Chain A
C-alpha cells in the first residue's frame, strides 16, 4: 500500500473565516454562480457552524469544514458509480472523480453520507475578465457532472513532475499541500500521510482528542477532526446534536 493522504482539522483553531472555501474554489476553478442557492452551489469545502443547542452562558459554537472524507473502506461513492467515474487511488488513498466519464446520474451523491459531492447544475461561468485568472492546471467541469474535493490532485501531479525532473522517485511532502491547508490563517488544517506512523498528522489522528464523523458507518474516512471540547467530540455520534442550531459558515 502506498501513501494514505488525509487530514486532521483542529476545530479549536477554526474561526469559520471561509479562507479554505475561497482557496479551494480558486485553485480548482469552481465557477461563480450567482443563481445558485446554498443547496445547489459548488462548495467542495463547506464550513458549517454548529452549536450545542443551548442558549445564554452555556451556549457553545464551533465551525466544521466539511469536504470529501476520502473513505478507505467500502467507499460508498466508488461502489455505486455505474461507469467507474469514481475510484480510490491505491497509491494515494485519494478518492478520485473523473468528470469526463461521469454520466451525471448522481447516485454517488445519494450514497455519500457527508453530502460532500456536488452536481454542476449550470454551465460554468465567471464574471467577465475573471476567466483569465483560472488555474491552467485544472480542467473546468461541464454542466451535468458531479465533482468534489480531490485533495488538489493537480498539485500532486505538479509535485510528481518536480520530483521526476529532479530524478527522484518520491515527492517531497512539502511540495504537495492542498490549497485549503495552505490558506488556513490559523493553521487549523493539517495534511499528511496517515499510513506513515511517524508523520505528524498520523500521530495527531491517533490522539484522544481526534474523532471522525459517522465513524460507525465503517467507511474509514481519512479526514479527522480534533477538539478539546467534549460536546464537539460527541459529534462523532449521529444522534449527538439534538436541538443544535446549524448555519452555513
Chain B
C-alpha cells in the first residue's frame, strides 16, 4: 500500500492487501448516497407519520414487516454458526465465524431500525418492557431481539478491537482478551435467544385466530409456525452466509475460505432445509384438512385470488424448498460452484417467499364473507427506507472487511487472485 497523504494503510492488518483508499471511497459513495436517501425517507416517516407509507387499516403491515422477517431469518447464520462452532465444536466453520457475526449484526440492527420507523409511536418502545403482555408473541420478539442485538454487539466488539491500531491500546487488548473468553457463553445465550425470537416471529402469525390463512394449531402455547420459523431460519442462514462469502470473494478477487467450508455450510443448510420441507408439508396438510375447515374456511378460498394462486404454495414448498434442499445435500452439487450458489440463492428465496406469504398474503385474503381481495403497493418512502438499510449493511460490511480480521489471514501468495 502506497504511503500517500490519502492513505489508511496503518489501519489495515499487515500482510493484508486492500484496494487504495480513493478506490474504496468510490465504492462506498453510491451506497452512502442510497443510505442518505433512506435516512431522508425514514425522516419523512418519523416527522410526518406513517401516512407517508401506502399501508392502511387493512394492510396494517407491509413491506417493512415482510423484509424484517426476511432479513432476521437470513441473519440466523450468525447465531447458528456460533452454536455449531462453540457448542457443537465444529471447528471447520471457525473461518466464517467473524463474518457471520457482522452479517448477523447488520441484519438485526437493520431490522430493529426499520421496526422503530414502522411503529406509530417509537418513543413508547420502552412501554413493552414496562407493561409487557406476557401472552403476546410480539413481547417475546421484542425482548429476545433486543437482548440478542446486545449479544451481537458484544460479539462484534472483540472483532472491532482486533483492528491494527486499536490493538495497540493496552486496555483495549486486555478487554478484547477478556471478552473473547466469554464469547462461547455469548454464543450459547445468543442461541437460546435466537431460537425463541425466530420461533416467536413465526408465532406472531400462527396465533392469529382471526386470520385463518395464518392460524395454525400447535403444541401447548406454540403454533406450528413457531417451530417452522426456527427450522427455516437455521436452514437458510448458512446458505445466506455461503452466498455472502462467495460475493465477497468475487468482489475482492480473493480466496477467503477453503472449499470445505462451502461444502459444510451447503450440507448443513441442505439437511435442515429438507427437514423443514418435510415438516412444512405435514403442517400444510393438517392446515388444509383440519385447522382451516374448522374455522369455516375452505382452503380453495385462499388460492382463488391472483397472483396468489396455488403456484405460490408450490414455489414455497417444492421449487424453493425441496429442490435447493436436494441440491445442497448432494456432494456432486457442492463440487460445482455455480450450482452451489444457485441452490443457496434458491434456499434464501424460499425463506423470503415464506415470510412474504405469511405477512402479505395473510392480509390480502378476505376474512369477512363480503370482504374484497385487496392490493397494496409500497410507497417510495417504504422502499427507500429499506434500501437505506441495505446500503447501511454494505457500508458496515465493507468497513469491517477492510479494517477488521473477518477472515483468516492469507496463507500465501497463491490464494491471492487480484489486488482489487
Listed in ascending order, the chain A residues whose CB lies under 8 Å from chain B are 35, 37, 39-41, 48, 50, 64, 66, 74, 76, 79-85, 101-107, 109-115, 117-123, 142-146, 213-214, 216-219, 235, 237-241, 244, 246
Contacts and interface: CB of A to CB of B under 8 A. Distances in A.
A217 B51 contact: no
B131 A84 contact: yes
Given A80-B207, A101-B127, A37 B49 contact: no
B61 A106 contact: yes
B370 A235 contact: yes
A221 to B, nearest CB: 10
21 contacts: A35-B51, A40-B57, A41-B57, A79-B135, A83-B139, A102-B124, A103-B120, A105-B119, A107-B136, A110-B61, A111-B208, A111-B210, A115-B368, A117-B57, A123-B49, A142-B121, A216-B296, A218-B209, A218-B295, A235-B369, A246-B371
B42 interface: no
B128 interface: yes
B121 A240 contact: no
Interface in B120-135: 120-121, 124-125, 127-128, 130-133, 135
B296 A104 contact: no
A96 to B, nearest CB: 14
A106 B49 CA distance: 14
Nearest to A120: B120
A117 B363 CA distance: 14
A118 B301 CA distance: 26
Interface of B: 49-51, 55-61, 118-121, 124-125, 127-128, 130-133, 135-139, 142, 204, 207-212, 294-298, 301, 362-363, 367-372, 374
B301 A238 contact: yes
Contacts of B368: 66, 113-115, 213-214, 238
Contacts of B139: 82-83
A106 B121 CA distance: 11
B131 A83 contact: yes
A39 B119 CA distance: 18
B128 A83 contact: yes
Q: Which 9 A-B pairs have the closest CB atoms?
A: A104-B120, A144-B120, A113-B210, A216-B296, A39-B56, A109-B60, A106-B60, A241-B369, A82-B138
Nearest to A143: B49
Contact of B60 (A64, A66, A110): A110
Contact of B370 (A50, A84, A216): A50
B57 A239 contact: no
Q: Per DSSP, are chain A's interface residues mostly helix, strand or loop, or mixed?
A: loop
Contacts of A120: 120
Nearest to A87: B133
B128 A103 contact: yes
Given A37-B56, A76-B208, A218-B209, A83 B121 contact: no
A70 to B, nearest CB: 14
A108 B140 CA distance: 16
Contacts of B296: 214, 216-217, 237-239
- Which of A74, A81, A114, A235 neighbours the largest number of chain B CB atoms within 10 Å of its CB? A81
Contacts of B135: 79
Contacts of A41: 57
B121 A237 contact: no
A235 B370 CA distance: 8
A217 B369 contact: no
